[in-house]
Amino acid sequence: MIIAPSLLASDFTRFGKEAARAAKSGAEWLHLDIMDGQFVPNISFGPAVVAAVRPHAKNIFFDVHLMCGQPEILLEPFVKAGADQIIVHVELGDKVPQLLWKIKSLGKKVGLAVNPPTSINAALPYLDKLDLLLVMTVNPGFGGQSFIHECLPKIQQADAWRREKKLNYRLEVDGGINNQTVADCAHAGADTFVAGTALFSKRNMGAAVAKMRKIAHAHDPALADLKV
């Protein structure tokens, strides 16, 4: 199970210290939400911020989530800034094949995100090209939103395809993840959990990460099978 604090929920006056806090917390990944004010009605931060926080969090995997209408012009700047994985949205339609190819050609892990209103079937043509499939559990653009429970069947379907097609993409969820919703998502088959508010709001992020990971493990269906 992987826990990925989202920097969007951090103290924006202290990006370096907040990234270091996440790196020390025991979280394996740092989730970096990039918003362009076009694809989503919000603007967050860009490659310069990612490059600035990179040296403060050397030992953590940078999971860069592009909520942008023209990610093709941003791939190289984010790779240069220190991204380890780049996630683009399936809602970009015809651009998706080229985007996935380009991220891979830059030597980085490839992720594809599916928004709540979008059918999970939209991801089907790309599953064998992915290192990660992200099922959004809020409409993208802001942290601190409530979890959309209607997304749970999409996680189950993505997990079923992974087994049936013998693929090994990671299954990530993002939005409204806390100690209650992480259990539902793990039970549905998710293995990678983005959490902003639930983690950055805690004084002791290490304890919060450990608790969230423990709950996720306890609800992992694979472990449940072993228990029988």
Q: Given the rule CB under 6 A, which residues bind ligand DX5?
A: 6, 8-9, 31, 33, 65, 67, 138, 140-141, 143-145, 174-177, 194-198
Indicate which single residue of 4, 29, 32, 33 sits in contact with Zn ion (rule: CB under 5 A).
33
| Residue 91 or 174 having the CB closest to ligand DX5 | 174
d(Cα 191, Cα 186) in Å, to the nearest integer? 6
In the DSSP assignment, the letter for residue 195 is E
For the CB of residue 51, give the shortest distance to ligand DX5 in the complex, in Å.
Answer: 20
Whole-number Å distance between alpha carbons of 180 and 157 = 21
Q: Is 159 a catalytic residue?
A: no
What distance in Å separates the CA atoms of residue 177 and residue 72, rounded to the nearest whole number?
A: 29
Candidate ranges 11-19, 22-30, 58-66, 205-213; the one touching Zn ion (CB under 5 A): 58-66
Which of ligand DX5, Zn ion, none interacts with 144 (beta carbon under 5 to 8 A by kind)?
ligand DX5
Secondary structure of residue 67 in the 3-state scheme: strand
For 140, the 3-state DSSP assignment is coil
Q: Which stretch binds Zn ion (CB under 5 A): 17-25, 63-71, 98-106, 152-160?
A: 63-71
CB of residue 63 vs ligand DX5: minimum separation in angstroms?
Answer: 10
| Phi-psi group of 177: left, alpha or beta (phi > 0 → left; psi -120 to 50 → alpha; rest → beta) | beta
Tokens of 189: 């088959």
Whole-angstrom distance, CA of residue 32 vs CA of residue 5: 9
Nearer to ligand DX5, 29 or 160 (CB): 29
Interface with Zn ion in residues 120-179 (CB under 5 A): 174
Alpha-carbon distance 79 to 196, whole Å? 23
Residue nearest to ligand DX5 (CB): 196
How far is CA 202 from each of CA 54, 172, 198, 207, 211, rounded to the nearest angstrom?
22, 22, 7, 9, 12
Instruction: Residue 103: name its binding partner from Zn ion, ligand DX5, none (Cβ under 5 to 8 Å by kind).
Output: none
Q: Annotated catalytic, 94?
A: no
Closer to Zn ion by CB, 33 or 159: give it: 33
Considering only the stretches 22-30, 60-68, 125-133, 164-172, report the one whose residues sit in contact with Zn ion under the rule CB under 5 A.
60-68
DSSP letter string, 45-58: --HHHHHHHGGGGT
CA 36 to CA 67: how far, in whole Å?
7
Considering the complex, state which of residue 84 and residue 167 has its C-beta at the smaller distance from ligand DX5.
84
Which is closer to ligand DX5, CB of 175 or CB of 222? 175
Residues taking part in catalysis: 33, 174
Q: Which residues form the interface with Zn ion (CB under 5 A)?
A: 33, 65, 174
